Every structure is written in C-alpha cells, then in structure tokens.
C-alpha cells in the first residue's frame, strides 16, 4: 500500500492554502466543507476566494509565501503556479511534519487528495495513488451510480436507532441480518423515495419485533427502461435492477438492459408484441401482486416511461387494490430518445411551440384520432405504435388540411446501434415505406422541426 487512507477531522482546525487561483479555490472549498479554519497566502485572490474573504469564511495573508508563514497548521496545500514556492512550501512542511499536498506534484506531497463521493455522513474516497487522476474520476463516476444521493439520510436514520438495535438484537449475527434487511429492503427504499417519516415508523416497528424473524415484505417497482440504449437508464432503475428478486419484462426491453439485472434474479417474459400479448394485461397485473405478496421484490420493467402508453396506471391500480407497496421510476420516453438521437428537437422557437404524443394503434383497422387537434400549426406530432397505420396517417393528415409537403420522420429502433431514420414529406412517405424494410419499434414525428434533422443529426449507430 503506497498511501494509507485516513479520514481526517479538520473541524475548526487551522489549515493553510498557498496560492490564490482557481485551483487553490477548489481546495479551499473542500477544506471549507470539512469545516476547517482556512488561511490563504497569496498576493492575489481569484473571484471566488475574494467572495469567501468578503463573507468572512477565510483569512487572507496578502503577500508571497515565506518560510516564517508556516506556523501551527494541521494541513497545508500548495496550489501556486510557481515551482520554487511549491517546493519551498513542501520542504518546510516536511521538516515540521505537517501533512502537505502540492497540487499535481505527487513527489512533493506527503498526502494526496482522493476523488470523493460525498453523501455526508457517508464518504467514499477513491485514489489510484496518483497514477491516474482520470481513472480515479471514472471510478468515482461509476460509484456515484451505485450510491444513491439519499444514502447520507439513511446513515443518519440508522445512527438514530443504533443503540436501540443493539439492545433488541443481542446476537451479533441476527443484528447484522437485521441491518442488511434495512439497507436492502423497503425501509431504505422509503428513504430513497423521500418518505423519511414512513421509514422511521417502519424501522421503529421492525426494531420492536426484536430478534424474532421478521416477515419479509414484498413490493413492486414499476420501472421505465428508457428507449433502448442502456446508458439512458436512470440511476434508480439500475440500482433496483440489481436488487430485485424477480424481473417481469416485455418485448421492448433490450437484452443489454436485462444484462444489468442481478445475476440470480428470475426473469419473466410477458410479451407484448402487437396483437400477440403473451399474457393478457389483467393477468400481468395479478401476477405482480401475487409474487410481491410472497415477500419478493418484483421489478416490472417497461420500455420508455411506464406512464406514457405503458399501461403503468392499470398495473398500479391492481397493486393499490391488493395493498401491495410499490414505487414508480420514470424513464426516458421513446419520443425524447428518438428526437434527441435523430437530431430533431421536439419544440423550437421558430417552428413548434407545442408537442403532441398520440397512439397510432389501429382499432378495427381504423385510426380513431382527433384530426383537428393533430393538424394544428406550429406543433410537433409524435405518433407511438404508428407503423402499421403510417400510410393511413399521412393520408388523413393531408385530407384534414395539413400540407402534403409537411416533413415527417420515421425513427426505427431509436437510440440503439440499429437506429435508422427515414425522412420525407407526408405526400411521399407512403412510397418510401413501401420501398424500405422497416423494423419496429418505430416512432413517427411530423412537423416543421423534422427538417432540422439534416442539420442536427449527430448520432451514427455502429451496426
Ligand atoms: N412506454 C413507452 C411506449 C410504449 S408504446 C415509452 O414511453 O416510450 C410502444 C411504442 O413506443 C412503439 O410502438 C414505438 O412507437 C415506440 N417506441 C418505443 N421504443 C422505441 C424505440 N427505441 N424507437 C422507436 N420507437 C420506439
């Protein structure tokens, strides 16, 4: 081990920062977060340090650094662009055994500053021993996705109950199981979704039950998986994917996303290809409630956002009726995903002030839509499930008064490596559809904004 990791209590301790530029300011911010008493030595101060000085947050010695300036500091950081001064600060600090960090010069340091994930009171520090700050930053970004922002709140809540749990759970093993169930179970989830009071009540009750085995409590997570690219999942979706016992998914959810599930989770496919639902919706609703009632954590994974043409509402109605706890995690809906990856802004100050999402799903082979609302000027129209009815759609829009020249785009398998886009006019699109093999899922975008695709397209899928 090249460096020994420590967490240093700097509360109200005198610390010195040599240098007054932006880098020094960043170090001052860090020290300030640790409630240190910071003195800055520098003949000049950048704007943010000047602001701190005016606010009385730091002390300032307005001059170049000299050996005599080193008094009883507990930590010194040198962040000047003057190599001589940096070396001088380092030498004197080493002589006096004061921990010293010289920014970007590991050879002059007695300690290095790690990349920090701050979820106070939870702190995670990452270091590569100075070998590669970029790698440390990358690791930090990965860890950020693993450690929800509310972990700090959870730690505070657990601290509150710590001694109580110690007296109620004498057996250390049982105590450990108890805390594991808190951290991985519904109580933690309540904290993460902002229901702190319910979490406190549930924790109080659970502690009250003592060492008797606690009955498991199942729940359902209704999660939006986004349009396809796994990178577009939310942090919460990813975390729940890695903790759910059972994952119920349908056709729109890509394999790459399922790969992110916990290795030993049960995966249940419930279909949802057009007109050949593997399971009728009613059965899916009941199934979710049934599994959760067995004490399992069920993750219902849906393409895009569960509340946009996703029947999310119906599924949670059943859960509500059955008294099964649940939470809903929004996802990036296909319209946002397809629009971004196709370089077609859905609204634009010059072309569209509103955007309308409709379903083009054919009922009895006809499209039952409010055409007057659809053809409004300066509006973008997004049609979900519209591939089969695409030609009828073009025809009806023209019949109801939209210009035959209105641009229209068909975005296929948006955001994935298979993404393909056809751009044409309402008049010509039907011919283009006939001439191409089109793969679902496909989203249709109609409106002036579509013309911007030519200029703004940026995503080149790698097949
Ligand atoms: N809840 C989903 C929509 C489900 S309806 C969401 O919010 O995105 C299914 C329709 O969504 C498909 O018929 C298609 O029109 C659209 N869709 C979903 N994913 C898509 C993708 N990657 N590319 C293009 N269209 C997509």
Q: pLDDT tens digits for 286-336?
A: 999 999 998 788 999 999 999 999 988 888 999 999 999 999 999 999 999
Coil, strand, or helix at residue 463?
coil
**330 CB near ligand 1 (under 6 Å):** no
As a whole number, mean pLDDT of residues 338-353 equals 97
- Stretch (H or E) spanning 71: none
Distance CA 208, CA 203 (A): 8
- Contact (CB, 8 A) for 221 and 299: yes
Pocket-testing residue among 228, 249, 251, 252, ligand 1, by greatest number of atoms within 8 A of Cβ: 252
For the question of residue 231 being annotated catalytic, the response is no
Q: Which atom of ligand 1 is nearest to the CA of 386?
A: 15
**227 CB near ligand 1 (under 6 Å):** yes
Cis check: omega of the bond before 341, within 30 degrees of 0: no
**442 CB near ligand 1 (under 6 Å):** yes
Residue 399, by phi and psi: left (phi above 0), alpha (psi -120 to 50) or beta?
A: alpha
Q: How many CA atoms lie within 13 A of 432 on its CB side?
A: 15
Q: Whose CA is nearest to atom 2 of ligand 1?
A: 304
Cα(254) to ligand 1 centroid in Å equals 12
Q: Which CATH number applies to 219-332: 3.30.1600.10, 3.30.1280.10, 3.40.1010.10, 3.40.50.300?
A: 3.40.1010.10
Helix segments in 75-169, DSSP class H: 83-95, 133-146, 151-160, 162-168
Coil, strand, or helix at residue 445?
strand
Q: How far is CA 356 from the centre of its chain?
A: 26
| pLDDT for residue 278 | 64
How buried is residue 174: exposed, middle or buried, by Cβ count under 10 Å (0-12/13-18/19+)?
middle
CATH number for the domain formed by residue range(s) 14-113: 3.40.50.720
Cα(390) to ligand 1 centroid in Å equals 15
pTM: 0.71
> pLDDT digits over 113-153, tens only?
888 888 888 999 998 887 887 888 889 888 888 888 889 99
Cα(303) to ligand 1 centroid in Å equals 7
Distance CA 281, CA 270 (A): 9
Catalytic option among 27, 153, 245, 272: 272
Cα(335) to ligand 1 centroid in Å equals 8
Catalytic option among 27, 229, 245, 250: 250
Cα(448) to ligand 1 centroid in Å equals 22
Distance CA 21, CA 44 (A): 8
225, two tokens: 């998986």
Distance CA 74, CA 214 (A): 48
214 pLDDT above the threshold of 70: no
> pLDDT digits over 349-369, tens only?
999 999 999 999 877 777 888
Cα–Cα distances in angstroms (integers) from residue 167 to residues 130, 170, 172, 173, 210, in the given order: 44, 6, 11, 14, 9
> pLDDT digits over 394-426, tens only?
999 999 999 999 999 999 999 999 999 999 999
For the question of residue 266 being annotated catalytic, the response is no
Domain boundaries defined on the chain: 14-113, 151-208, 219-332, 335-456
| pLDDT for residue 173 | 65
| pLDDT for residue 130 | 75
CATH H-level, domain 335-456: superfamily: Tetrapyrrole methylase, C-terminal domain (3.30.950.10)
Q: What is the dihedral of CA 306, 312, 313, 316, to 10 degrees?
A: -120
| pLDDT for residue 212 | 66
**226 CB near ligand 1 (under 6 Å):** no
16 pLDDT above the threshold of 70: yes
> pLDDT digits over 236-289, tens only?
999 899 888 899 998 889 899 999 998 888 999 998 555 555 678 778 999 999
In this structure, are strands 122-126 and 75-78 parallel, antiparallel, or unpaired?
unpaired
Helix segments in 8-150, DSSP class H: 22-33, 47-54, 83-95, 133-146
Nearest to 237 by CA among 332, 340, 316: 332
217 pLDDT above the threshold of 70: no
> Mean pLDDT, the chain, as a whole number?
92
> pLDDT digits over 84-98, tens only?
999 999 999 999 999
| pLDDT for residue 2 | 84
Pocket-testing residue among 224, 334, 444, ligand 1, by greatest number of atoms within 8 A of Cβ: 334
345 pLDDT above the threshold of 70: yes
How buried is residue 430: exposed, middle or buried, by Cβ count under 10 Å (0-12/13-18/19+)?
middle
**415 CB near ligand 1 (under 6 Å):** yes
């Amino acid at each position: 081990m090249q460096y020994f990791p420590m967490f240093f209590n700097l509360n109200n301790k005198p610390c010195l920062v040599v240098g007054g530029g932006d880098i020094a300011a960043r170090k001052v911010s860090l020290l300030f977060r640790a409630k240190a008493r910071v003195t800055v030595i520098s003949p000049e101060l950048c704007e943010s340090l000047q602001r701190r000085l005016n606010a009385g947050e730091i002390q300032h010695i307005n001059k170049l650094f000299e050996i005599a300036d080193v008094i009883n500091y507990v930590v010194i950081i040198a962040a000047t662009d003057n190599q001589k001064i940096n070396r001088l600060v380092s030498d004197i600090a080493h002589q006096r055994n004061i921990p010293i960090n010289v920014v970007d010069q590991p050879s002059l340091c007695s300690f290095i500053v790690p990349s920090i994930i701050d979820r106070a009171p939870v702190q995670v520090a990452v270091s590569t021993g100075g070998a590669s700050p970029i790698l440390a930053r990358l690791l930090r970004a990965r860890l950020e996705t693993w450690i929800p922002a509310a972990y700090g709140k959870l730690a505070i809540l657990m601290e509150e109950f710590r001694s109580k749990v110690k007296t109620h759970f004498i057996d250390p093993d049982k105590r450990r199981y108890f805390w594991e169930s808190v951290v991985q179970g519904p109580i933690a989830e309540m904290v993460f979704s902002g229901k702190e009071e319910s979490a406190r009540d549930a924790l109080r009750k659970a502690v009250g039950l003592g060492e008797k085995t606690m009955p498991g409590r199942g729940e359902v997570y209704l999660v939006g998986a986004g349009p396809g690219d796994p990178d577009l999942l939310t942090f919460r979706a990813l975390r729940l994917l890695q903790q759910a016992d059972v994952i119920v998914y349908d056709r729109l959810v890509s394999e790459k996303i399922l790969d992110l599930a916990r290795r030993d989770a049960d995966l249940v496919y419930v279909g949802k290809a057009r007109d050949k639902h593997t399971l009728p919706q009613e059965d899916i609703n009941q199934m979710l409630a049934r599994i959760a009632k067995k004490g399992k954590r069920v993750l219902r994974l849906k393409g895009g956002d569960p509340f946009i043409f996703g029947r999310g509402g119906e599924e949670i109605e059943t859960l509500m009726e059955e008294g099964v706890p649940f939470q809903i995690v929004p996802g990036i809906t296909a319209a946002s995903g397809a629009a971004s990856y196709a370089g077609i802004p859905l609204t634009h100050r010059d072309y569209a002030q509103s955007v309308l999402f409709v379903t083009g799903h054919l009922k009895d082979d006809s499209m039952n839509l409010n055409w007057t609302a659809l053809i409004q000027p300066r509006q973008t129209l997004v049609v979900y499930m519209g591939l089969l009815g695409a030609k009828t759609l073009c025809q009806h829009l023209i019949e109801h008064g939209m210009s035959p020249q209105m641009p229209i785009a068909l975005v296929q398998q948006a955001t994935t490596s298979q993404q393909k886009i056809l751009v044409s006019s309402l008049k010509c699109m039907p011919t283009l559809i006939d001439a191409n093999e089109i793969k679902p899922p496909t989203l249709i975008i109609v409106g002036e904004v579509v013309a911007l695709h030519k200029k703004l397209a940026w995503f080149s899928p790698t097949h």
